[in-house]
Structure 1
Amino acid sequence: MKSPENTGQLIRSRAVILGIILAALICALTPYNNTYKQATPLGGGHFPLAPFFIMAWLTLLVAGAGRLFKKTILTGKEVLTVWMLMVLVSGIAYTGLARTFFINLTAPFHFATVENGWREVIQPLLPPALYPDSTEAVEALYNGLDGGRRMGWGEVLTQIPWDAWLLPLMTWGGFILLCYGVMICMVNLLSRQWLHNERMNLPLLRVPLLMEEAIDQKGLGRFFSDRFLLAGLAIPVFLHLLNGLHFYYPQVPHIPTLILAGPYFPKYGLFSGFHKLKIYIYPAFIGFAFLTSRQISFSFWFFFILGGLFFGLLSVLGYNIPAATLGITFGPTLSRPEETQMIGAYGVFFIFILWLARYHLLDVGRQAFGKGVRKPDETEWFSPPVAFWGCVTGLLGIVLWCRYFGMPFLASVLTVGAFFMVMLVATRVICQGGIAYFTLTVAPIDGLLAFFGPQFFTRTGLLVAAVVQKVLFADLRESLMPSLVHAGSITHRARNKRRVFAGILLTLLTGIIVSFGAMLALCYKYGARELQLDWATRTTTNVYTNIHTLLEASPRSGEWVMIFAVVGAVVMLALVICYQRFYWWPVHPIGYLTAYSSAMRILWISFFTGWLCNALCMRYGGVVLFKKFRYFFVGLIIGDFLMGGTWAVIGLFGDASYQVLPN
């Protein structure tokens, strides 16, 4: 007879099917919830709300059904698998893909005016296979179908001009599937190194894993009745109950969760970098910070403070560098020249990742060419040689796709390489640092533009590179690759990884189809201009405005961009050397990578608070107190997300929704 532990490692088909169904449901509801109802985002960040909210209630339902029917409906591992499949696609339905996708493909037509010159400069360069060929289809997307508001969703789907969208969707769908395939192969290649050799801590998985353990050990009641957990749970429940009632009934008092600290700092001088400082209070992110390694959580807020001081120091020294020296950049939040340090820092840290994995990658290379000893697939979904050749083939396919649509071959190689280099580094930062909300500072092609100039791409090549980047590689707040790493960790001990992997592939395919269909139906029913797509519209039109400027004037970045890129490379090199050579070294290099991220402007105080509590706990109570006290911070996380889900459900039935988590 099999032990319960071994039984828990078998993931049955029912869990995979349930995960796919719930994932599709999230993809169908997310555009409506987020853009029309303006409710709390269902799939925001790398620890999305809807999957965890559903998992929490599914956990209670499974435990209750097990006691009632004396039968295991789902094991803890299976509940965790359901959560994982929902997480994988929750971002695809919004910022991870669908939020800007259709705006991206229609903006050069709908927003073209005599003043901006897009008709004369940009439209002739647009590859026909990548864009809809019907003006009526584009205008109906923004204005809505005639009588669309009175139509049912099924009727709207039948009235969408699919003939105009079929070719672009197939062309872009092939590109997206190629990119997702490469990400899967990369994660499969590195999973043994990151999870087995480096034993990388994954803070965002701590709470789901604790809940899985409670289910399998029949200790769910003990888990939720822990006094530390209940104390932590009570704080966000009280906070968001009070503030949520205040949102709907202003006469109810509230507790501010945003403190404007900027006015306490001068506009000029050493502390001028903090003139716009804000303090956001998010209990869940404090919980994640506590569960993160102290060295990493310390590094995040430490480098954020240093970044602000560096700006003030330059001012004190008389280096008032104007923003105009940036030239034309595509970075989502890039605003000051000193932030281009991240160009060099990302490059050096990518090399550091490869250096750490050098023996593993060398062994994989030998296996791929039939010269190495094959190891059992303990952590991988499929064999490393298959992953190696899948990665090579997929990257080559993406390069050829870009080349086919007008990008020079060398530019295609370097651009695709920059895309996945940045994606890999960002994945490491998110997974190892436990950052549920992450944004890039500089975009991948910013470095290529700084070093080679816009002429390196050619006119059509520059447009394709910028648009492709906007589709998948610029807005990493809900990117797929970190979720794949978490999925690899969850399934690495499963006895039937192939079944789960097939479920992952089917979930991704279903998620793309449902997300595209849901967003198109929403736009054609109500009209994109009536939806809350201001951010998507603004950031997308900025991309085309930048492309137009580069095509017409071909401005080069100022010398300060190159100087700061070199400074970033040197600083990161020093950090990784010290991190590797000195065991007492107090800071982790990934903290430097987030110094100028807009995410850290929101999360810095959370990481400071979590680090301080962790340090005090270990200093005065040791591991014993830590194991008890961590449940308080687990309660903060669970409470924040349960309240977020509750208000999101309430928001579906109202005209507005109280926001619990960052939008």
Structure 2
Amino acid sequence: MNRPLHKPYNGLTAKSLLIAVFIFPVNVFWIIQLEVVRYTHPTLVHPLSNVIFIVFWLVIVGYSLKIISPKIGLTPQEILTVYIMLCVVSSLCSHDMIEILVTLMGHPFRFATSENEWRALFWRQLPEWLVVNDEKVLKGYYEGASSLYVKENLTAWIIPSLWWITFIFVLLTVMLCINIILRIQWTERERLTYPIIQLALEVTDQKLTFFRNRLMWFGFALASLISILNLLNSIFPELPYIPVKRQSINQYFTSRPWNAMGGVRVAFYPFVIGISFLIPLDLLFSCWFFYWLYKTELMIGKIIGMSNLPRFPYANEQGFGAYIGLLVFTFWAGRSHFKNLLHHFSNLHHAKIEEGNDNNEPIPYRLAFLGIIIGLAFLTIFSYKIGMALWVIPIFFAIYFLLSIMIARLRAELGFLVHDLHRIDPHSMIITGVGTRRLDTGTLITFSVYMFFNRAYRAHPMPQQLEALKISSVQNINPKQVAISILVATFMGSIVTFWLLLDNYYRHGAESGYYGPWALGFGRQVYNQLAGWMNYQQDNDLLGMSFAGIGLGLTSALMILRARFLWWPLHPLGYAMANSWGMSNLWSCLLVVWLIKFLILRHGGLKLYRRAIPFFLGMALGDYIFGGTWSIGSILTNTTLYQFWP
């Protein structure tokens, strides 16, 4: 697929940059209120509801201004550039990124006691240039009624914050360079569909075709009606409630062996049903099928006594093996592209790769490759300075970036809304492979402080970057400007997030009760785990490694069957995600969508399917717009109104 012959449009203009910079702090403050103070988590599910909400109103304002004067209106390319930047900023200021990091920086010094022995175990090894250990400074942070802008407070936080901002910037720059190398293979050669960005593309379409579609408004109205009724129920409990949010059905599984399944929830989120309509039919089926196969596995394990094993059925290890298997097949499918790239790197005369040269990329391939090398060198030195053993560093980041690539692929090809991968992370897999006994204190401390970008991957920035490059291709936006906008958003978003989190904590106090449980919960979780690693050293887990091998083998078998038989209905990604947090909350939505989509394709074919897409995207948009409105109302009234997620 060649790029349009038309000269690329400017997306990063003075107008779009000013709008984005103005919205950054508003967006970050909104996320803090929703995720830290309350319990609505927009950054855990995609597309990001807060960003869609903002873009929706930008489209309305931009279109209104165009009517007055075309010169002062906003083009779709400018609005989408703002969308890209807000997605990056939201990923950074999220429940799975900097929200965690800030809470880790002072926690061990505030809550060390004689009982937990943190002072003796690891106080001295914590890098002073990355933490805050002044008791007076931490007193204001945790108790509130203070100010960040006192000299002592600013001085204590600025150095470690700047180091972490630099680390985050380099980490995301490496991701961007990898995405640039992968883009042409996945976007133009394999032509992956990128379902997650479709709602943003439809909303910003210059012809407003989406908003002129009646079916879209029917879907919008349906989701809006549900949201309004549930809002009224939250204010007047005697009014009816439509049960679309997750709820446990464990009360129906109390006897053996059914109770071995653990928690089972059902939900019927309108936005999940709407966006998931774009997910391929085989993956929809595979998701709920493998979810229940996993639950069946738990029951069978209970019946035959396998549940006596400490972590049977080692679902995280199986998942890790499955993701590695998927990556192997992904790289195998693109082997000719990667061979051409190697030739391109080694040719002194800038040889063209098979799909075309790199003039259409944000930066040349050689520069992207150099960026990866320099970035990895920085990450290596940074990790070594913290205390990670030199032999562990390449293994740690190899696992991290391989998982990052897999998540980006998952989003680009299949568009699954939630990708958490709890306990499928570098430190968990390394500990499974070698145990904690062979890891020194510095390595375990580095694992702990790196938990802020490895606890879960629901707001992972790498797929956001890849989707931005796809938007650039679809809308013919200058790719260099898109790359610059990503880097600007990364740098400024990190600064704004640190600033507003610290400002809010000093105003209200992290332990004052104003914030939700995770203001202290992240630090407690991370440092209790670190103390456990040090107090109760363990050897490698051969059984866990074996189950990772089983996951790799089963995934390979499923991929071979898919390649040999076109009718084969099971996608290995459903197997990989079977025990995930996202699947436990969304399996019932996917079952409903699978049934609807199956019936539509069976009786109406592709024509009816395409006609139905606006209805389902309208459902998602309606849920997002009204859900966003209620969340703003909660902030303005200092109450908790109906929260549409989770």
- Which of residues 454, 463, 471 in structure 1 aligns to 2:445? 463
Match of 2:501?
519
Quote the offset at 1:227 in angstroms: 2.4
Match of 1:662?
645
Distance (Å, rounded) in 2 between the aligned partners of 1:658 and 1:44 = 20
Contact 2:53–2:625, Cα closer than 8 Å, also in 1: yes
Distance (Å, rounded) in 1 between the aligned partners of 2:282 and 2:380 = 39
Distance (Å, rounded) in 1 between the aligned partners of 2:124 and 2:181 = 41
More displaced stretch, 235-244 vs 203-212: 203-212
- Secondary structure at the aligned position of 1:188 is classed as helix
Closer, same or farther: CA 661–380 of 1 in aligned 2, 3 Å: farther
- Which of residues 188, 192, 205 in structure 2 aligns to 1:200? 192
Match of 1:48?
48
Quote the offset at 1:275 in angstroms: 5.2
Quote the offset at 1:54 in angstroms: 1.2
Closer, same or farther: CA 480–312 of 1 in aligned 2, 3 Å: same
Corresponding letter in the other structure for 2:380: V
Closer, same or farther: CA 540–435 of 1 in aligned 2, 3 Å: farther
Distance (Å, rounded) in 1 between the aligned partners of 2:110 and 2:65 = 53
Contact 2:219–2:615, Cα closer than 8 Å, also in 1: yes
1:198-347 matched pairs, under 5 angstroms = 198-213=190-205, 215=206, 217=207, 220=208, 223-257=210-244, 258-269=246-257, 271-274=258-261, 276-322=263-309, 325-326=310-311, 337-347=314-324
Distance (Å, rounded) in 1 between the aligned partners of 2:249 and 2:239 = 25
Contact 1:364–1:385, Cα closer than 8 Å, also in 2: no
Q: Alpha-carbon deviations, 1:632-662, whole Å to 9, x = none?
A: 1011111110111110121121232234343
Match of 1:163?
155
Quote the offset at 1:559 in angstroms: 4.3
Contact 1:418–1:445, Cα closer than 8 Å, also in 2: no
**Structure 1 runs not aligned, ≥5 long:** 149-154, 327-334
Contact 1:8–1:75, Cα closer than 8 Å, also in 2: no
Contact 2:468–2:482, Cα closer than 8 Å, also in 1: no
Distance (Å, rounded) in 1 between the aligned partners of 2:34 and 2:576 = 33
Task: Indicate yes or no: 2:178 matched with 1:186.
Answer: yes
1:44-123 matched pairs, under 5 angstroms = 44-69=44-69, 73-123=73-123
Task: Indicate yes or no: 2:330 matched with 1:361.
Answer: no
Closer, same or farther: CA 71–542 of 1 in aligned 2, 3 Å: closer
Moved segments of 4+, more than 6 Å: none
Quote the offset at 1:123 in angstroms: 0.7
Corresponding letter in the other structure for 2:116: N
Contact 2:432–2:540, Cα closer than 8 Å, also in 1: yes
Contact 2:195–2:411, Cα closer than 8 Å, also in 1: no
Closer, same or farther: CA 347–126 of 1 in aligned 2, 3 Å: same
Distance (Å, rounded) in 2 between the aligned partners of 1:519 and 1:360 = 43
Quote the offset at 1:628 in angstroms: 1.1
Contact 1:186–1:387, Cα closer than 8 Å, also in 2: yes
Quote the offset at 1:251 in angstroms: 2.8
Corresponding letter in the other structure for 1:441: H
Quote the offset at 1:71 in angstroms: 5.3
- Secondary structure at the aligned position of 1:476 is classed as coil
Quote the offset at 1:73 in angstroms: 1.6
More displaced stretch, 157-166 vs 231-240: 157-166
More displaced stretch, 277-286 vs 431-440: 431-440
Match of 2:387?
406
Match of 1:506?
488
Task: Indicate yes or no: 2:520 matched with 1:537.
Answer: yes
Task: Indicate yes or no: 2:596 matched with 1:613.
Answer: yes
Match of 2:405?
424
Closer, same or farther: CA 189–20 of 1 in aligned 2, 3 Å: farther
Corresponding letter in the other structure for 1:201: T
Q: Alpha-carbon deviations, 1:399-437, whole Å to 9, x = none?
A: 222122222211111111122122222222234332233
Closer, same or farther: CA 651–108 of 1 in aligned 2, 3 Å: same
Distance (Å, rounded) in 1 between the aligned partners of 2:229 and 2:503 = 36
TM-score, normalising length from structure 1?
0.90
Contact 2:10–2:481, Cα closer than 8 Å, also in 1: no
Q: Alpha-carbon deviations, 1:17-76, whole Å to 9, x = none?
A: 32333234312443245434x274454433222211111112122223323435572222
How many equivalent pairs are there? 634
Closer, same or farther: CA 498–287 of 1 in aligned 2, 3 Å: same
- Secondary structure at the aligned position of 2:306 is classed as coil
Quote the offset at 1:160 in angstroms: 6.3
Distance (Å, rounded) in 2 between the aligned partners of 1:598 and 1:162 = 38
Corresponding letter in the other structure for 1:25: V
Q: Percent identity?
A: 25
Distance (Å, rounded) in 1 between the aligned partners of 2:387 and 2:264 = 44
Corresponding letter in the other structure for 1:466: S
Corresponding letter in the other structure for 1:320: S
Corresponding letter in the other structure for 2:238: Q
Match of 2:23?
22
Quote the offset at 1:266 in angstroms: 4.9
Quote the offset at 1:483 in angstroms: 0.7
Closer, same or farther: CA 440–540 of 1 in aligned 2, 3 Å: farther
